[in-house]
Amino acid sequence: MKKWHFVIDIEKCLACFNCLVVCKDEFDDNTFPGYSVPQPRFGQKWIDAVPKERGQYPNIDVAYLPKVCMHCANAPCVKASGGAIQKRQDGIVLIDPVKAKGKKDLVKSCPYGLISWNEEANVAQKCTFCAHLIDQGWTKTRCSQACPLEAIKVVYMEDAEFEEMVKAEKLEAYKPELKTKPGGLYKNLYRYTKCFISGSVAYTRDGIERCAEGCKVILFKDKQKIAEQTTDNFGDFKFDKLDEKSGKYQLEFYLDGYNKIVKEVDLATSLNMGEIHF
């Protein structure tokens, strides 16, 4: 049977928050019997773009992780709910607004923190994948429909077809160590979860400092070469997709006509090494 999935591209999200606004528009003040009671206007976000800044001036990039219920296949919330939360055959995980009444503990059952508590209605709430619209034949959720950059997409696919998509587009789970088998996956997740080593290479000739274009930079970890780059016309290099807190790395710089330069860094989070001078 086909299932619904979120497919979210971190590189495309620019934090316009259209997704959050249309989610409020859909659910604030509106009751959808069997699906949801109104989402409070303030204090709850069923979807949010969470920023991550990497690096130091002038080598900085910022990415946003659109965070929304991942409609997990192995959902801890479903297991903890005593029937108040169900995963439907089409993959959508729904909180029953009647059965979840008074069950504040459900908030803690989502390891991603994506279930909220509605004090006034005395009920746990979260993204419904706009199931009330999907069941009327909609092919998109409100957030995916409103995303101008198509950072948030939804697909409805057979498992085998989705597996092919996962491989082809290199989709990944956020926090796979939680083993929730999320139905929603991310593209370019490294922009949020990984870090980089960057810098600029320069040399001085005739008293003028110049960008060292074409400098070979080799990255080593535990004496093993793991990557190689050539600096661009600004003398810049950037090794990305490295693990945070992954310890010591060695970098070797080779520029025609100069002796090799060797540097060592201890990587905690994204690091701009600044200028390396020949």
Footprint of ligand SF4 (CB under 6 A): 69-72, 75-77, 93, 110, 112, 114-115, 126, 180
Q: Which is nearer to ligand SF4, 129 or 249 (CB)?
A: 129
Give how far Cα 73 sits from Cα of 62, 91, 97, 184, 226, Å.
Answer: 30, 7, 21, 10, 35
CB of 263 to ligand SF4, least distance (A): 42
Distance CA 169, CA 186 (A): 9
Q: Which is nearer to ligand SF4, 54 or 126 (CB)?
A: 126
Q: Which is nearer to ligand SF4, 45 or 126 (CB)?
A: 126
Q: Which is nearer to ligand SF4, 7 or 115 (CB)?
A: 115
**14: Cα within 13 Å, side-chain hemisphere:** 5
Indicate the SS3 state at residue 158.
Answer: coil
Q: Are 163 and 33 in contact (CB under 8 A)?
A: no
CB of 266 to ligand SF4, least distance (A): 34
CB of 74 to ligand SF4, least distance (A): 8
CB of 5 to ligand SF4, least distance (A): 12
Pick from 270, 261, 275, 264: nearest CA to 239: 270
CB of 13 to ligand SF4, least distance (A): 18
Q: Are 223 and 175 in contact (CB under 8 A)?
A: no
Distance CA 112, CA 186 (A): 15
Do you find a cis peptide bond into 58, omega within 30 degrees of 0? Answer: yes
Q: Which is nearer to ligand SF4, 40 or 184 (CB)?
A: 184
